[in-house]
A and B are shown apart, each in its own frame.
Chain A
Amino acid sequence: DQQVKQNSPSLSVQEGRISILNCDYTNSMFDYFLWYKKYPAEGPTFLISISSIKDKNEDGRFTVFLNKSAKHLSLHIVPSQPGDSAVYFCAASKLTSGTYKYIFGTGTRLKVLA
């Protein structure tokens, strides 16, 4: 039973336009959400995060929106650049047996076309 879902395996966007990556979750106990970026044959690198007490967090070209009622979060990249081409994972954390655990989605491969 997948608790964090990224239903779009891939996305192509023209350079300079907005990229929107979506993530849905099923467990209302999640209280912290993260986005990671991963290049082939490398480990994921942290991009941006949001706490469940907020509905928006912004860092430069990256903005994450959280809609708790819909159990949905999205990552907006504006403007998109060719270097943004990578796989993006969303992750959610919840308290389990006294410690926070992270549940990852399956990733969305973003391709930014020059």
Chain B
Amino acid sequence: EADIYQTPRYLVIGTGKKITLECSQTMGHDKMYWYQQDPGMELHLIHYSYGVNSTEKGDLSSESTVSRIRTEHFPLTLESARPSHTSQYLCASSELGGRTTNEKLFFGSGTQLSVL
């Protein structure tokens, strides 16, 4: 079973607020990811990290930023939330770091963000 945790599960916030979505994993995985998903749409990769002090932008442009100071922790920050940021944000990690095939992603429960 995956040990990857996201908080909060739900967040309703006003426009212009700064928010941080937390993601932690206890599996010691080097590679971590943030996906964004809207209802009926595919999961879009917005950020990933190969390890400590490594962050990369994903395929979908996002105004959010991430940091990776510790292996187990990969928080996502929005400096000024807008209604267009309303979405589900999913954090994931992988054991082999994408260096080989035949691996899978472990997902957290997600954060449903609503910006009013």
Assuming the contacts A2-B42, A104-B43, asked whether A31 and B107 have C-beta atoms less than 8 A apart, the reply is no
Selected interface stretch from B62-70, B72-80, B108-116: B108-116
B1-43, CB < 8 A from A: 2, 4, 6, 9-10, 31, 35, 40-43
List the count of A-B residue pairs having beta carbons below 8 Å apart: 69
- A107 contacts which chain B residues (CB < 8 A)? 40, 42
Q: Does B53 contact A (CB under 8 A)?
A: no
- B41 contacts which chain A residues (CB < 8 A)? 106
Assuming the contacts A41-B110, A41-B112, asked whether A93 and B45 have C-beta atoms less than 8 A apart, the reply is no
CA distance A16 to B52 in the complex (A): 48
In the complex, what residue of chain A is closest to B96 when comparing beta carbons?
A100
Q: Which listed residue (B91, B98, B100, B107) contacts A45, Cβ 8 A?
A: B107
Q: Which listed residue (B42, B90, B92, B112) contacts A4, Cβ 8 A?
A: B42
Chain B: minimal CB distance from A31 (Å): 6
CB of B45 within 8 A of CB of A102, answer yes
Q: Which listed residue (A46, A49, A51, A103) contacts B106, Cβ 8 A?
A: A46
Contact with B along A87-114 (1 / 0, CB 8 A): 0010101010011111111110000000
- Classify chain A: how many residues form its interface, as a range: 20 to 34
Q: Which listed residue (A42, A99, A102, A105) contacts B105, Cβ 8 A?
A: A102
CA distance A44 to B110 in the complex (A): 9
Chain B: minimal CB distance from A88 (Å): 13
Query: Which residues of A pack against B, CB within 8 Å?
Result: 2, 4, 9, 31-32, 34, 36, 41-46, 49, 51, 89, 91, 93, 95, 98-107
**Could you list 10 further interchain pairs (A-B, Cβ under 8 angstroms) beyond the known A43-B4, A44-B43, A100-B101?**
A31-B101, A41-B9, A43-B6, A43-B91, A43-B92, A46-B105, A46-B106, A49-B102, A51-B101, A99-B31
5 A-B pairs with the lowest CB-CB distances in the bound complex, closest first: A43-B107, A99-B98, A104-B43, A100-B98, A32-B101
